[in-house]
Structure 1
C-alpha cells in the first residue's frame, strides 16, 4: 500500500493551485513567445546598448528566455498536479475503505 504524506484538504489545494499555475504560466509563456509589448517591462535588459540592433537582439533573446522559463515552471506544476492528484486519490480511496 502506498503512503500518503498529505491530507485530503492539502492535496485538493495542491490540485487547484497546480491547475491555475499551469494555465497562467502557459499563457504567460505564450505571450512572451509572441513578444507582447505589455511584458516588456518585465524583461531583464541591461542599460548599456551600443546600437539599436544590439538592443533588438537582446529584447528578442529575453522574450524567448522568459517564455522558456514560464514553460519549464508550468511543467513543474504538472508534476505537482500529478503528485497532488495521487495523494487526493489515495486519501479518498482510504476513506472509502474504512
Structure 2
C-alpha cells in the first residue's frame, strides 16, 4: 500500500501522544501567556533582566510571552503529528480491509 509508513500500533500510539501533547502544551502556553507566577523557574531569566534602572517587569513579561508562543508552536507540531498518525491509521484499516 502506497504511503504506509508505520503499523497500526505505532499509529495509535502517535494519536494518543499527540492528543496529550496538544492538551498539555496548549495549557502551558495559556499559563505562560497570563504570566503565571508558578512557572517563573521555567522562564529563561538572566541577571540583566533584574536591572533596577530599566523596566525589568516588561522584560520578564516579554520572556513569559515568548515561552508561551513556543508552547503554542509545539502544540501545532503535535497537531500535525496527530493528523499524520490518523492518516496512517486509516491506511492500515484500508489495507486490512483489502487483504480480507
Query: Which interval holds the TM-score relative to the shorter structure?
Result: over 0.9
Query: Gapped runs of 5+ residues in structure 2?
Result: none
Q: 1:15-62 deviations in whole A, cap 9, x for unaligned?
A: 000000000000000000111110011100111332175321221011
TM-score by length of 1: 0.93
- Conservation of the 8 A alpha-carbon contact between 1:15 and 1:84: yes
Alpha-carbon distance in structure 1 between the residues aligned to 2:82 and 2:53: 43
1:3 Cα offset (Å): 1.7
Matches within 5 A, 1:1-98: 2-48=2-48, 49-51=50-52, 53-98=54-99
Aligned residues: CA RMSD: 1.3
TM-score by length of 2: 0.91
Deviant stretches of 4+, over 3 Å: none
Matched pairs, number: 98
